[in-house]
A and B are shown apart, each in its own frame.
Chain A
Amino acid sequence: TQLLEQSPQFLSIQEGENLTVYCNSSSVFSSLQWYRQEPGEGPVLLVTVVTGGEVKKLKRLTFQFGDARKDSSLHITAAQPGDTGLYLCAWPYRGQFYFGTGTSLTVIP
């Protein structure tokens, strides 16, 4: 059983479109992290959210932590080909990191 469920698994959109990907669980988390992994590379941390209801923005990326701290979303505005990659959410807990299976995003020029 996967602790963190991410949806959709795959997403292919045209450049300029908006999109939202989700990270859900039945558990309550102290914090959640979002990573982006480009083909042939390791994941890179985008953001850490720690407070229920928290919203963080990173240029065209908006991250939200659910009020109950059980879920998180990543919204991308006006997607660009450079946004292509695998988006992973992760729960850091006492030295361990639990990752979701990821959303593979392809932005078509």
Chain B
Amino acid sequence: EAQVTQNPRYLITVTGKKLTVTCSQNMNHEYMSWYRQDPGLGLRQIYYSMNVEVTDKGDVPEGYKVSRKEKRNFPLILESPSPNQTSLYFCASKGLDEQYFGPGTRLTVT
């Protein structure tokens, strides 16, 4: 089954404790992306990657890092999480036309 998987699905952490949210796709897509979704602000793009070893900033990259060492994986790293990074995070991958989203990771930073 073609899919984008994210782990963990839910995470509660404390300010300053580094964390990584993993994202993996099995569709051999070159393009992958991370978004955060907040009430009243909609979906905003954090980072995207057009191919392996190529990453670019989206609208809201501050406080986040990504890496794309292999085509199928695109982890999101929060080096020092803060409460304003509490949000619902989505990973996505895209083939020729359609963007496929993962199920989301709900992150709470206290």
Contacts and interface: CB of A to CB of B under 8 A. Distances in A.
Interface of A: 2, 40-45, 48, 88, 90, 95-102
Sort chain B's interface into a size bin.
20 to 34
Contacts of B4: 42
Interface stretch (B37-45, B62-70, B73-81): B37-45
B40 A45 contact: no
A88 B41 CA distance: 12
Given A40-B103, A43-B43, A99-B44, 9 more contacts: A41-B101, A88-B43, A95-B31, A96-B45, A96-B56, A96-B58, A98-B45, A99-B43, A101-B42
Given A88-B42, A88-B43, A97 B99 contact: yes
Nearest to B38: A101
Interface of B: 4, 31, 33, 35, 40-45, 48, 50, 56, 58-59, 90, 92, 97-104
B43 to A, nearest CB: 4
Given A42-B90, A42-B92, A97 B103 contact: no
Contacts, number: 49
A42 B42 contact: no
A3 B91 CA distance: 22
Contacts of A44: 101
B42 A97 contact: no
B58 A48 contact: no
A44 B35 CA distance: 14
Contacts of A98: 45, 59
A45 B98 contact: yes
Contact of B48 (A40, A48, A95, A99): A95
